[in-house]
Structure formats: structure tokens, C-alpha cells
Amino acid sequence: MGHKIAVYGASGHTGRFVLAELERRGFTALPFGRAQAPADDPTALDRALTGAAAVINTAGPFAVTALPLLAAAERAGIPYVDVAAEIEANADTIARGATIPAVPAMAFFGGLADLLVTAAMADWTTADEAHVAYGLSDWQPTPGTLAAGAVSHNRRNGRRVRFHNGALQYHSDTPPTLQWDFPTGPREVIGEFSMADIVTIPSHLNIPSVTSYMSTTAAQGLTKGAERQEPETFEVDVRVRRGNEERRLTATGRDIYAVSAPLAAEAAERLLTGRFKATGVASAGAMFDATDFLLKLSHVIRTARG
């Protein structure tokens, strides 16, 4: 392949997975981080991107790093990809726009569900609502995940957020607990457990209500903040409704952090080889052929229609 791809935050948990995935694909990785190039130092960022054909940002909190890295990518004239799960940071990136191809949230949270919903929609141009249920066996968050979550929590003053009636709504309601019928069986989930999907999906699909759910076992692990040990298994079950019709697509796999690497690397590879559909900032489903993208990752993410 021969391209050099810069990886910001390369020493972090997800960053190391991204480095390994780029090497597996034949790319030359250019690892760097805050020690070499602080996010608030444009000169250092420009120097770090010298010779790079693209940049993948894996360094959260993305409220701090996303826009500076995106601006540096613009100055270098190279594509930008990040793995941000922060709702507000992704909304900021999409609102800013770019003069280069740029894909935020190209990871397990945000990008994967966006691809699944886009593929499930298929020939539909509109839908009434989309539901994204995460059936994680557990969740042992990394320090980076916890730090990014704290930034988002503080940015919305501790309130919860949902996407309803075509807009983000901030509220203090207690989230409901309910049963979700996953393909492998029912699990207890927390409703309106909003992830980056409530930004990525409606950024390009005409769906006025997007709701996400999280298995209670995973939510409990997130609040405990236990040290990461055994990788979790996952089911991501998406359902899209239009009137009385429903379309369903489910993805299964293992290790939510590890699968973010092939998602981000595949995005960078497609941007470098001209296999993309949009200009500027666009989420995964808008930038790429969603069905083909998921098929390419079938070795790590298995999909099935309901």
C-alpha cells in the first residue's frame, strides 16, 4: 500500500490496536502524541503530520483534540478520521465542516451503528425512528473512556441527552429499564443510554427519533470503572421503523476497543483510495457504502438481518 498514516494518541489502548491494524494492512504508521505535539500547538501538529497521507486521531477527550487535529489535517491537505465517542465533540466536528474528507466517530460507538442503520434503511429515504441496542457482556472502560465521559458529563451539566423530534434534547429524567429481545435472547437494558449514534445517524438520515439502549451489565461496569481484563462480547441490534414496517440488522463480535481499529483503518484506506461518497465532514454511513464496508469487516464483525 505504501501510504504513511499518522496516528495521534498512538500509545493509548485504542491507538495501539490502530497501529497493529495499519501494519497488518501494509501501511506505514507515524505514531505521535501529546508529548510531541500538544493539541493546542498548531506548529507542533503541522510538524508531526509532515509526510503523512492521512491522520487517525485516537486521543481523547476529543473535545480537546478533534478540532485542532482536524484543522491541522486541513492545513496538510490530508483526510482526517477519529474514534470519538463523545456526543458533543462529534456534534462540534460535524457543525464545523471541513475542506478535506473527514470522518468523526469512526469506531464501535458512533460509526458502527451508523453503518448498520444506513445498511438497514437500504432503499428507504425516510424512517419514523431508529433504535440501537447494545448487548455488551460487560464494559471495563479504559482511563481514556472515563476521562472523555467526564468531559461530556460536565459539558451538559450532568444532564442526559436524547435525539427526539429532530433535535438533541437535554433533560434530567430517570432512564427507563426494559427488556430487549436480542437474537440470542432477552436482556435487561437501560433506555435512552445515548451514545454518539444520536449524532452520527441523524446527521445524514431523515429519522426524527434515534434512541440507544445499553445492557445493564455493561452500564454497571462503566460506573464501577474496573481495570480492564477480559474483553467483552457484543451484540449491536438496530431496528428501523417506517409506519408498520420494520427493518433489523445485528452485528456481533468481541472487544469494543479492538474492533474500532479495523473500522478506523478501513475508513482511512477508503479515503486514500477514492472509495467515498461525500466531501467535507461526514459520518460513516454518509461517507461510505455501508453494506460493502460491513462486508469488508466480516472477519471481526458478523452481521445478520432480522
In the prediction, which pLDDT does 225 show? 60
Please say whether the beta carbons of 216 and 133 come within 8 A: no
The arithmetic mean of pLDDT across residues 154-168, rounded, is 93
* Residue 1 clears pLDDT 60, i.e. is over it: no
Average pLDDT, the chain: 95
Q: What's the Cα-to-Cα distance from 180 to each of 24, 28, 254, rounded to whole Å? A: 37, 43, 20
The arithmetic mean of pLDDT across residues 110-129, rounded, is 98
pLDDT digits (tens, 9 = 90+) for 165-177: 999 999 999 999 9
In the prediction, which pLDDT does 227 show? 67
The arithmetic mean of pLDDT across residues 41-57, rounded, is 98
pLDDT digits (tens, 9 = 90+) for 52-95: 999 999 999 999 999 999 999 999 999 999 999 999 999 999 99
The CATH number assigned to the domain with range 109-254 reads 3.30.360.10
C-alpha cell of residue 273: 483510495
Question: CA-CA distance, 242 to 220, in Å (whole number)?
Answer: 33
Task: Give 190 or 306, the one with higher predicted confidence.
Answer: 190
Question: CA-CA distance, 138 to 142, in Å (whole number)?
Answer: 13
- Describe the strand order of the beta sheet including 80-82 as a list of residue ranges: 28-32, 4-8, 54-57, 80-82, 102-103
Please say whether the beta carbons of 276 and 101 come within 8 A: yes
Q: What is the DSSP string of 26-42?
A: TPEEEEE-TTTS-TT-H
* Residue 230 clears pLDDT 90, i.e. is over it: no
Please say whether the beta carbons of 213 and 237 come within 8 A: no
pLDDT digits (tens, 9 = 90+) for 233-287: 999 999 999 999 999 999 999 999 999 999 999 999 999 999 999 989 999 999 9
* Residue 3 clears pLDDT 90, i.e. is over it: yes
The arithmetic mean of pLDDT across residues 120-129, rounded, is 98
Q: What is the CA radius of gyration of the chain?
A: 18
CATH architecture of 4-108+260-290: 3-Layer(aba) Sandwich (3.40)
Sequence spans of domains, the chain: 4-108+260-290, 109-254
Please say whether the beta carbons of 261 and 14 come within 8 A: yes
* Residue 28 clears pLDDT 70, i.e. is over it: yes
Question: CA-CA distance, 126 to 206, in Å (whole number)?
Answer: 5
In the prediction, which pLDDT does 265 show? 98
- Characterize the bridge pairing of strands 185-191 and 177-182: antiparallel
In the prediction, which pLDDT does 224 show? 67
In the prediction, which pLDDT does 141 show? 87
Look up the pTM and report it: 0.96
